Amino acid sequence: MRFISSERISNHSGAAAEREVWERLKAAFGPEDTGVGYRRYPIVDRTAGDFDREADFLLFLQSVGLVVIECKGYQIDHVQRIEGEKWILRNTSQSSSAPHSQAFDHSTRVLQHFMKESDLCDRRRNCVVAANSLVALPNITREEWEARGFHEGPNAPPVLLADDLSPVALRERIETLPHAEPLSDSEYETARAVLSGGQPISGDRGPELADETTKGGLYETVEKGLNRLDEKQEEIGLQIPNGPQRIRGIAGSGKTLLMAKKAAQMHAKHPDWRIALTFQTQSLYETVTENVERYYAFFSPDDPEPDWDKLEILHGWGGRTKHGLYYKIAKESGVRPLSYGQAKREFGDEDGDLFDRCCEQALEEGRIQESYDAILIDEAQDFNPGFYKLCYAALEPPKRLVWAYDEAQNLQTLTVPTAEEIFGTDAAGDPMVDLSGSYEGGIQKSQIMRKAYRTPRSVLMLAHTLGMGLRREEGAVQAITNQEGWEDIGYEVLSGDFRKHGEPIELTRPAEHSPHPLHDEADASPFVRFQRFGRKREEVEYVADRIAEDVSEGGLAPEDVLVVTLGEVRASRRTGEDLAAALDSRGVDANLVWDGDRDVFAEEDSVTVSRINRAKGNQAAMVYVIGVEHVEDDARRQDLIQRRNEVFVGVTRTEAWCTITGTGRDAAIFEEIETLREQVSGPDPVVTFPAPHPDDLEREMEDDTTATTIDQFAD
C-alpha cells in the first residue's frame, strides 16, 4: 500500500492529531495490502469556507473500498454535546462542527467521480465501491467517550478513538466497517485510475468501434492508457512543495500532464494564490488549458471553472497579441517588456540569447515584485537561466518554483543543469537554491521519471539512435558516451565498453521503462515504418494514400494524424501544400499549421501538417515524418546536430505509429534508418553501434548544460 501526502501538515490547532493519525495509518497497513492512502486528498468542498475544504485522510483498499476520515484534535471537554450531525463545542476556535457530515460529504464527492465510469456501476447505476466515513479523535479515550454517552443511540457517530489507533486495532476497525466490500481486480484498477485523476479526463470518443483491431480502435486503448497515471506520476502531481522543486525525466513520461494537474489542484486547494503555468511552445496553449480545466473540474466539482485571474496559463515570452509571463513580470517591475523584434534591435542578432538577455535586463533594471505564490515551468529545457531567475524573483516566500525538465526532448541537453548552474551560489559558496533532500512531510525537492509512456519502445529507440547518428556512416554527431548516462534515460547496456572506441555496444530498453498501452497488442505492430522514393511527387502521393486509409479504413479521426515536413522553410512548406492538395483530392481536409493561429495546433476533422518548430510539444496517434533526406543534405542545412534533432523531435511526436519517408536514391540516411528499424522492431529490440570517440563528436552530451530551444529554428 502506498501513502501520498499532497503537502506538509501546517501548524494549525489539530496538526499534532493529524500527524499522529497519519503515522498510525501507515503503521497499520503495509506493502502486502493493495491500496492507497492520501492525506489531504484534493477534491475540494468550495462551500466549506476556511475549514475542512478537503478530506483529512482518504483510504482506498481493494479489500474494503473507500474510507474517508475526518481528524479532530479535540479533548473530551471540548465536546459539550452532540445533536444529530452537529457537535456543540466549547473552549475551541469553533462553537460547533459537523465532522462526520464533512467526511460523508467528501466521500460522496469521490463516489460521484466513480459513478462516471460504467465499470464501477451495477445494472441499476449504483456504485459498486463501498464507502465508509469516520471521525478520528486521537486525544479522546474510549472510556472518556462512553462516560459522556456519546456512543449511544442510533445516530452515534462512527469514530476512531485513541484506543483504536494501535496497528492491530486500527486495521481490524477498518476491515470490519459495516459497509466494507471487496472489489474485483478490474474494479479496483478502474477506481484507482479515477483517484489518480486520470480516468475521468480520458475523454469521450463517441460510440465504441466495432473492430478494436483498427488503428482507431487501438488508439482508444492508447488514450485511456496514457491518461492512467502510475503511482509515481500521481504522487508528483499531487505534491505542493514548500519551496522549489525540479521534475526531470525522459520525453513522454507525462510531465506536461502532471504540471497541469499540479496547477489545477494548487488552485483548487488555495484559490487565493496567484499561480502561473508557463511553457515555451505557443501551440501548447490549447492543450495545456484543456488539461487544467479538466483536472480543476475533477478537484473542484462544486465550482468547475478556474478563476483565470488567479491561475494564469502563459507563454514564457509572449507575443504582440498575447502577453507572456516575462511580459507581466517585467511590466510589474517597471521595465518596458521587449518583443522579439525590439530585443533583436537592442541586443543584436544572437537569437539563442535574446530571451535570456531580456530576462536579465528585467532583473537588473527593475524592482521585481513578489506577486506570485507558485510558478510552474513546463518545457524547462527550453529556457536559459535568466528566465528561471526572473520567475524565482517574482515569487513570494517560500519560493514555490516548480520546473519540469525534459531530458532528451530535443537531444541538445541530456545533462540537466544543476541548481547552482541556474541560480548561482551566495558569498559563502552555498547554492542559492538547494535541491538536496526533501521538505518537511517527505516531499522530495527533486524528482526523476525514467519511464516513457507516450512513444512505443521501438519508436523511441530508433529516435534516440537516429537522432545521435550512432549508426551514421561517417560516425555519430552527438552521443551519450558512458553506461550511466544511458541508464539515466531508461536504457540498459547489454555488452560493450564505451572506453574502447570503435568496439560494438549493444543497447536495449527494458519493457518496464516503456510501458506503452499497445506494447503487447500484436495487431498494433509495427509501430515504425520507412519508405524511400525516387521522386518527391511519389512520396507525397504515398503519404496521402496512407492517410486516406488511416481515416477511411483505419478509423482514425483526421485530427489524430500529424504530418511533419522536414527541410528548409520554403521547400518544407511547398511539400505540405502539395500534400494538402493530394489529401483534398481524396476527400480529406488538411490544416497547414503555418497558415493558422499560432496558439492552435490541431483542428477538428483536419489532418495537421506542420514544420518541426510548431510540432514540438504536440502529439498525435499517427505521425508521418517526410523529407528525411534533408537530415544529410549539406546544401540545405549546415548544422548536423540541428538536423538530427529535428528528425528526433518529429518521430517522438507519435503516441502509437510513425512512418518516415524520404526522396532520393543514394542518401546514406536511408540505409541508416532501415538498419535501425530492423533492429528495434523485434520482440526484444537491441541496437548495436560502435563506441564513439568523444573527440569525433560534434557534441558529447554529458558535458553540455546549455539550455536551448527548438523554437529557434526559423519559420
Same-domain status, 352 and 465: no
> Are the beta carbons of 64 and 129 closer than 8 angstroms?
no
The dihedral built from the CA positions of residue 675, 676, 677 and 680, taken in this order, carries a sign that is: positive
Give 311's DSSP letter: E
445 with 527, same domain: the answer is no
Shared domain for 515 and 655, answered yes or no, is yes
Predicted local confidence at residue 695, as pLDDT: 84
What is the spatial distance between Cα 7 and Cα 670, in angstroms, rounded to a whole number?
52
Pick from 419, 449, 479: which residue ends a domain? 449
Which one of 415, 449, 483 terminates a domain?
449
Q: What is the pLDDT of residue 598?
A: 81
Q: Is residue 646 part of a domain?
A: yes
Model pLDDT for residues 92-112, shown as the tens digit of each residue: 989 999 999 999 999 999 999
Q: Are residues 13 and 146 in the same domain?
A: yes
Looking at the structure, tell me whether residues 265 and 244 fall in a common domain.
Answer: yes
Strand order in 35-41's β-sheet?
A: 2-5, 35-41, 55-61, 65-71, 131-137, 159-161
**Single residue among 449, 469, 498 that ends a domain in this structure:** 449
Of 496, 501, 505, 497, which Cα lies nearest the Cα of 465? 505
Does 339 reside within a domain?
yes
Show Cβ contacts of residue 242 under 8 Å, excluding neighbours closer than 6 positions: 7, 8, 398, 400, 439, 440, 441, 443
The pLDDT of residue 120 is 94
Residue 713, in any domain of the structure:
no
Report yes or no on 141 lying in a domain: yes
Ramachandran region, residue 364 (left: φ > 0; alpha: ψ -120 to 50; beta: rest): alpha
Residue 361: inside a domain: yes
Q: Spell out the residues 6+ positions from residue 644 whose beta carbon is closer than 8 angstroms to its own.
A: 411, 466, 467, 468, 469, 477, 478, 631
State which residues form the domain around 649.
Answer: 458-708
* Co-location of 518 and 633 in the same domain: yes
Number of domains in the chain: 3
Q: Please indicate, yes or no, whether residues 197 and 238 belong to a single structural domain of this protein.
A: no
Does 223 fall in a domain?
no
Residue 283, pLDDT score: 80
What integer pLDDT is reported at residue 452 of this predicted model? 84
In a domain, 207, yes or no: no
Same domain flag for 346 and 438: yes
Q: Judge if 595 and 615 occupy the same domain.
A: yes
490 and 374, same domain (yes or no): no
- Read off the C-alpha cell for 593: 499549421
- Beta carbons of 62 and 28 less than 8 angstroms apart: no
Structure confidence at residue 711 (pLDDT): 33
Residue 93 contacts by C-beta under 8 Å, 6 or more apart in sequence? 13
Q: What CATH number did the domain enclosing 375 receive?
A: 3.40.50
Torsion, Cα 98 100 103 108, to 10 degrees, reads -100
What are the mean pLDDT values of the chain's consecutive 10-residue runs (715 residues total)?
A: 85 84 96 95 71 84 97 96 95 94 94 91 93 97 97 92 97 94 94 76 40 86 73 86 90 84 94 96 88 92 90 89 92 94 83 84 96 95 93 98 76 64 91 92 87 91 94 90 88 96 96 90 94 97 98 96 96 97 98 90 96 90 96 65 89 96 90 96 94 81 38 33
Please report, for the domain that includes residue 619, its CATH number.
3.40.50.300
List, for residues 156-169, the tens digit of each pLDDT value.
999 999 999 999 99
Are 253 and 130 members of one domain? Answer: no
According to the model, what pLDDT value does residue 85 have?
93
Q: Give the strand order in the sheet containing 504-508.
A: 492-495, 504-508, 687-690
Establish if 688 belongs to a structural domain. Answer: yes
The pLDDT of residue 701 is 61
Instruction: Tell me, yes or no, whether 14 and 109 share the same domain.
Output: yes
Amino acid in position 502: G
